[in-house]
Amino acid sequence: MSPFLLTRTLPEDATEAALRADVLHGLTRTPKTLPPKWFYDAHGSELFEKITELPEYYPTRAEREILSARAGEIAAATGARTVVELGSGSSEKTRHLLDALPGLHTYVPVDVSESALSLAGRALAAERPDLGVHALIADFTAGLTLPDTPGPRLVAFLGGTIGNLLPDERAAFLASVRSLLAPGDTLLLGTDLVKDPAVLVAAYDDAAGVTAAFNKNVLSVVNRELGADFDLDDFEHVALWDAANEWIEMRLRSRTAQTVKIPTLELAVDFEDGEELRTEISAKFRKERVRDDLAAAGLELAHWWTDEEGRFALSLSVAR
């Protein structure tokens, strides 16, 4: 059986400290915000899995289609001996890529969730006796140190998650990824593409209300972890297209004037009737913007693949 290693680079209390800081900062500013990473407790992760199966939500299916069709080309273009996956989760989609790399030596999944890493990493190690799996419990947006593994390296950041970063955050993130790469190493990046706003809004406001429940789950997390008294029924889910910035915004709109107490932070937060709390942006991209963002970080766009309907793209860029 291949070796499985699990390394923690986050302090045990890092998650709680980050939540406290994000809630304090986000709910005392104007407009109010909460980062989307707090959707994903166990219940939120279950809801997101349901979202990926909804007819309106195309990104997961489209990306899987590209990976299935193009894994051989990606493998040939990279010759990767190490694959690093940021925000790996279940590592399900990545299996297409791992299967296509005959010389693969080590897979490095990176996630903040120890349970997800352990489950997926141990399963992969058991299935692939010749593959080393070195999982990292880490926040890849806060700087990352990778284990000493053979090159060439391929860093994969899939799911369109880069769209959740504001432009300045995106630039800093891509620069940090470039710092992990040697010349000739590669980045495989998943990006959702600009398209009909009606299609985009439907993907974030499904008829069954699963995304609404997912959005409100961030309030449940704050209630449970920080003792807040958010009443989820007092907020409604909102998804809208910002044409100027070319991104979807998810918000929670207060149905009434109210005050929410968060005892752990000794904080009382006033909401006006109709006031909105932004919980996520999801930027959509054009090829030109992806190329420019990569170039600014020292990465050269080498390959561009889309699904048959042109809804989603995988790009492969090379560190220069």
Give the separation between CA 16 and CA 112, rounded to whole angstroms.
12
**pLDDT tens digits, one per residue of 165-198:** 999 999 999 999 999 999 999 999 999 999 999 9
Q: Give the model's pLDDT for residue 2.
A: 63
Mean pLDDT of all residues belonging to the chain:
95
Please give the structure tokens belonging to residue 120: 């997926």
DSSP 211-244: HHHHHHHHHHHHHHHH-----GGGEEEEEEEETT
Q: Give the model's pLDDT for residue 143.
A: 78
Show the low-confidence residues of the chain (pLDDT under 50). Answer: 1
What are the extents of the domains in the chain? 1-229+284-320
Task: Tell me the three state secondary structure of residue 138.
Answer: coil
Please give the structure tokens belonging to residue 176: 């940090």
Give the separation between CA 237 and CA 216, rounded to whole angstroms.
7
Q: Give the model's pLDDT for residue 1.
A: 47
Pick the CATH number of 1-229+284-320 from 3.40.1180.10, 3.30.420.40, 3.40.50.150, 3.40.50.970: 3.40.50.150
* Pairing between β-strand 106-111 and β-strand 82-86 as defined by DSSP bridges: parallel
Q: Determine how many CB atoms are found less than 10 A away from the CB of residue 195.
A: 15
Cis bond before residue 31 (omega within 30° of 0) = yes
Helices (H), the chain: 14-27, 42-52, 59-78, 95-100, 114-127, 167-179, 197-203, 210-226, 287-296
